[in-house]
Amino acid sequence: MDSTIVNLRSKLEIYKSMSDGGNIADCPVRDVIQGLSGKWSSLLMGALAEQPYRFGELRRLVPDISQRMLTQTLYDLQRDGYVHREVFPTKPPSVEYSLTDLGRSMFGALHQLILWAELNHDAVRDARAGFDAAQG
C-alpha cells in the first residue's frame, strides 16, 4: 500500500482522543472541508484567487447566485479566515473582497481538486450514467 495513503482507523482514533469524548463530529478534516463544500464556495475562491473583487463585480461574475447566497457565502468564507472584507469610505460605501494568506494557502490545494474535476468530469458522468442504467 502507498505510504501516502492515510490509515483511516488510526486517524479516527486520533480525532476521538482529541475530542475528549470520542465525538467524531469534532473531526478537524470534516470541520474544515464542510466550509468549502458549499455550492458557491470554490467558485468564489477561484475568482478571488485571481484578484480582489467588489461585491457587485462578484454578483455580475456569477449571475446564477442570488444576492442573499453571495452575501452568506462570502460571510462564511470570511468567518473561516479565507476572505478579507474591506469597506472603503466612499459615498455610497464600497466593499472589496480578497483572499487572506490562509485563503491563498488553502486555494493551492483546492486548485488541484478543481483541475482534477475538470479533467475527470466526463469519466464521473459516464460512471453515474452506467450506475444509474444498471439500477433501473
The pLDDT, as a whole number, for residue 74 is 97
Q: What is the pLDDT of residues 12-41, one digit of tens each?
A: 666 666 666 556 666 777 778 887 888 899
DSSP 3-state of 41: helix
DSSP code for 24? G
Q: Which residues in the chain show pLDDT less than 50?
A: none
C-alpha–C-alpha distance, residues 7 and 14, integer Å: 11
User: How far, in Å, CA of 118 to CA of 40, rounded?
Assistant: 16
Q: Give the E-state strand segments of 5-91 in sequence order.
A: 53-54, 83-88
pTM of the model: 0.77
Contacts of 36 (CB under 8 A, 6+ apart): 42, 45, 106, 110
Reduce the DSSP state of residue 53 to 3 states and report it: strand
Q: Which pLDDT score, from 0 to 100, does residue 117 have? A: 92
The full set of domains in the chain, from first to last, is: 1-30 (no CATH), 38-135 (1.10.10.10)
Cβ density class 22-32: b for 16+ within 10 Å, e for less: eeeeebeeeee
* Alpha carbon distances (Å) from 50 to 44, 47, 81, 93: 10, 5, 18, 23
Task: State the pLDDT at residue 3.
Answer: 52
Give the pLDDT score at 134.
96
- How far apart CA 136 and CA 131 sit, in angstroms, is 9
Answer yes or no: are the C-beta atoms of 102 and 82 closer than 8 Å. yes
Strand partners, 97: 53, 85
